[in-house]
Amino acid sequence: MENSLQSWVERNHRVVLFCVLAVAVVTRLAVGLRAPRPFGYVWDLYHEAVMWAYDHGRLPAPTDCWECYPPPLYIAAGLPFYALGKLAAGGAAAGGMRLLAWASMLWVGLLVYYCDKTLSLLRASWSERLLALSLALALPCLVIGSYAAESDILLAALMAAFFYQLCLWRLRPGRRFRGQALILGALAGLSALTKYSGLLTLPTAAAVLGPDLFRPRLRRRAARDLVIVFAVASALCGWHYAGNVRAHGKLFLKPPWLRSVHADDGLRRNLARYDFLSFKIADVVALYRPETPGKLDTFPVYHSVWSALYATAWTDMTFFSLPQRQPWVLPQGYGEGRVVPMVIDTPAEAVRVSAYPAKRVPLALIELVLRVGVIPGLLALVGFLAAGARRALRPFAAYAGLSLGVYFWWILGQDSWALKAKYILFLLPVYLVCAILGLRAAARVDRRLGVAAAAGVIAAILAAQAYVWAFALS
């Protein structure tokens, strides 16, 4: 039965692909059209940096708004959308915010496209590619983030393109071409010009290309390619980091309201605060009970690293569902009119309201999503272990290992709000590839186990779709 179904999918993959994409688009339209805020579902107010640049005609200083400190590519990419949306709305800022939020649909499309391209390098069948594509498009954080004026989706798209080119360089040496190192360098530079975490592209390139320096026949080409990658990346983003050092005495800036704890006793405190060993689905579900007061980051489960990252990938972890969980309130009427004051400039006595109204998604559905979403995660873990053991797949291990290592180090420097799946969305290609590798491993052990694992992934996709629709319509 499963063989005939798989054969049908292989023969009719264009029809299945069209259906998957159609469902994805309609679902995102439902989420966006029913969003209560014109800037979408955001964890951070990145749209303010774009608005500030539009209103003042220049890049903002780090203290001009809450999210004016990151590198400026998102501002540059978002300005045309904001300007066009504002023009179409007769000068209303809300129109600019809406089109800026919808722009994330483009970044999501690029992200998923390069995830699929990376899978194709492993000679994945159409059945495997469609399953992975469906999983990516149904992932709640990516669906909700498709209507959100945030830079993390843009970064994920750029880094996914970079990672595809890096895998192409390693896995298809016969298809290397002269400009490939230039492309890698350009994507690395653009990533680093979007967010500071985009700099992870450079050590990843060194880890993947570097071993060829120790092979006499490949040494010269590897050295040349590495020099090109670093030179092009530096040419694109170096001016920004040099400006940071010149103006502020450091490479990386931080939000004006955030105190770094890497250099004081806060690091020791955070080592005790963050729990890297637990996984608490029941505690996440309990967060959704509206009678429980408190901001999200005050609950112990939020500091359970794997619980929080998993929950913010497969649900909103109450951030957009319960007003009492949200970290900030907005001035009444925020987003109305032609010019919107930055939240940081709003008088303290101004009337403020919740950023998002309450939603009522059934607890049983939330728990179902969180339970079955574990299945592709377990498959990805199995696949990651398999990837690390095979030389050809070590780019995946290097990319994931470096990224998680740096991210966890960064977490320990933050007192609050550091655990969000959107911060590591650029690992989505690794997650999908490893899930497919895990599925193959299960099928090799026993064909029935492989079928059961695939059915579990499909169940996770369907549960995620049901959750997102309930989220959008509530």
329: part of which helix (H) or strand (E)? strand 329-331
Percent of the chain whose predicted confidence (pLDDT) is above 90: 69
- Which of 61-65, 324-328, 413-417, 441-445 is least confident? 413-417
pLDDT digits (tens, 9 = 90+) for 21-39: 999 999 999 999 999 999 9
Q: What angle do CA 243, 247, 251 make, to 5 degrees?
A: 60
131: pLDDT confidence band, cut at 50, 70 and 90?
very high
Has residue 263 got a pLDDT over 60?
no
3 state DSSP class of 274: coil
Interior/surface letters 266-304, b for 16+ CB within 10 angstroms, e for the rest: beeebeeebbeeeebbebbbebbeeeeeebbbebebbbb
Helices marked H in 323-446? 363-372, 374-389, 394-411, 428-445
pTM of the model: 0.94
Read off the pLDDT of each residue in 265-282 and give the average, rounded to a whole number. Answer: 85
Q: How far is CA 240 from CA 11, 117, 150, in A?
A: 50, 31, 20
pLDDT digits (tens, 9 = 90+) for 174-220: 666 678 999 999 999 999 999 999 999 999 999 999 888 888 888 88
354: part of which helix (H) or strand (E)? strand 352-354
Cβ within 8 Å of residue 342, ≥6 positions away? 48, 51, 52, 64, 65, 66
- Which of 149-153, 163-167, 176-180, 274-278 is least confident? 176-180
Domain ranges of the chain: 152-253
Q: 273 or 156: which carries more pLDDT confidence?
A: 156
Q: What is the pLDDT of residue 1?
A: 42
Q: Do 73 and 193 touch, CB atoms closer than 8 A? A: yes
Q: Do 371 and 129 touch, CB atoms closer than 8 A? A: no
265: pLDDT confidence band, cut at 50, 70 and 90?
low
- Kindly state the tokens that stand for 410: 């960064």
